[in-house]
Amino acid sequence: MAPIEAEPGVAGPALACPACGQELVQLECPGCRRRFGSLAGIPDLRLEDVKYEIGEDLLAARELQAASEEGDFEQLLKVHWASTNRPAALSERFLAAELAAPGRSAAYLREIETARGKTLSTNDRFLEVGCGTAALAVAAAGRGAEVTAGDLSMRRLVLARKRLNEAGAAGALLICAAGERLPFPAGSFTVVAGADVIEHVADQELFVRECHRVLEPGGLLFLSTPNRFSLSLEPHVRLWGVGFLPHALAVRYVRRARPRGVPYDQVRLRSAAGLRRLLEPCGFEVDVVAPEVPPATAGIYSGLELRLVRAYNQFRHLPGARPLLRAVGPFFHVFARRRGGAV
């Protein structure tokens, strides 16, 4: 595909070459001479060494783009999940989670604003990294912030555009790029957020360093991620006890129990202590919280699981409960502030 500019009228930060860091000119790098393409106005800034099936992803993205002209976001989402090689029960659960994402993202944004001590505003530059269908980007755009949303998957960005357009947030900039190679100059953002992302990236330390680099001093990184040592079902594969196994054994266990499920090779969960060990050496002041399960998320559960979710939310308020939940609770919210100093 020939390089073209992003959609006219879309605000956002300058784009930098993910290989050498020089500012791009019409998606061409004047330094290393790389030329980047786009799909339907979404710049594709992935490098050749990314551990991802780019060709397969682009084919699926083009098919989704063609289907996006008909129907609404929910219908397009159903088309997407119908095309994946997932068991029906898992696909239905992932679909329900995507449809519940606006309520969950509104809760995330309130927590981000509480951690910052101020609301998002037109003065803020917000990046959702690993955005999926960009529900958190929609919430941030509703505050008037300048919003950029990036993901490694072009097909998910086609879905994200549909969601953004329907929400009246078409001014957000969409970028296809790896979280470990963010295509932005240093200090570009006041807030970087990644919901259920860090457990999927190939190089977690490099991902964290990139988030630190693109934040301005004092900026906030927000992450949500499952707890490796949770006593509940592992959310990606719906199995008990996965996180208590060494990774190689966990992969074998999942492969046998879910032969048509989500591949587990690239899923690496961390404990609260593991998250601190990852983030603090990279220059962050870190707070790891076992948060409340918001109503939008609780709504996708039923039966015993719903009763457990309600019990968890009540247990959080008991004296001395929070350290225990940081050890074995279902998931974490991480608020990591970039220490001051030169960018």
Instruction: Give 10's pLDDT tier (boundaries 50, 70, 90).
Output: low
Residue 6 has pLDDT above 50, yes or no: no
Cα(107)–Cα(124) distance, integer angstroms = 19
* 138 lies in some domain: yes
Residue 50 pLDDT class (50, 70, 90 cuts): confident
Query: What is the model's pLDDT at position 8?
Result: 44
Predicted TM-score (pTM) of this structure: 0.93
- 67-86 confidence digits (pLDDT tens): 998 999 999 999 999 888 77
Give the mean pLDDT of 168-197.
Answer: 97
What does the pLDDT read at residue 206?
97
How does DSSP classify residue 7?
P
DSSP one-letter code for 300:
T
Domain count, the chain: 1
Residue 145, domain member (yes or no): yes
Residue 35 lies in a domain: no
Coarse DSSP helix, strand, coil percentages of the chain, rounded to the nearest 5 percent:
40, 20, 45
pLDDT of residue 41: 94
Indicate whether 244 belongs to any domain: yes
Q: What is the DSSP string of 49-76?
A: T-SS-HHHHHHHHHHHHHHTTSS-HHHH
Whether the per-residue pLDDT at 266 is higher than 80: the answer is yes
Least confident of 132-136, 185-189, 211-215, 305-309: 305-309
User: In this structure, are residues 148 and 6 in contact, taking their beta carbons and an 8 Å threshold?
Assistant: no
Region 225-245 average pLDDT: 94
- Mean residue pLDDT of the chain comes to 92
Residue 22 belongs to some domain of the structure: no
Which burial class, exposed, middle or buried, applies to 67 when counting CB atoms under 10 A from its CB (0-12, 13-18, 19+)? middle
Sign of CA dihedral 256, 262, 268, 270: negative
CATH number at residue 270: 3.40.50.150
Residue 28 domain-assigned (yes or no): no
Q: Is pLDDT above 70 for 342? A: no
* Domain presence at residue 17: no
Query: What percent of the chain shows pLDDT beyond 90?
Result: 83
Whether the predicted pLDDT of 4 surpasses 60: no
Summarize the confidence of residues 208-224 as an average pLDDT.
98
In a domain, 195, yes or no: yes
pLDDT band at residue 11, thresholds of 50, 70 and 90?
A: low
Residue ranges making up the domain that contains 104: 53-338
Residue 2: predicted pLDDT: 34
**pLDDT for 177 beyond 70:** yes
Q: Where are the alpha helices (DSSP H) in 258-320?
A: 272-279, 295-298, 303-315
Q: Stretch 21-26: mean pLDDT, rounded?
A: 96
The Cα–Cα gap between 216 and 169 comes to: 24
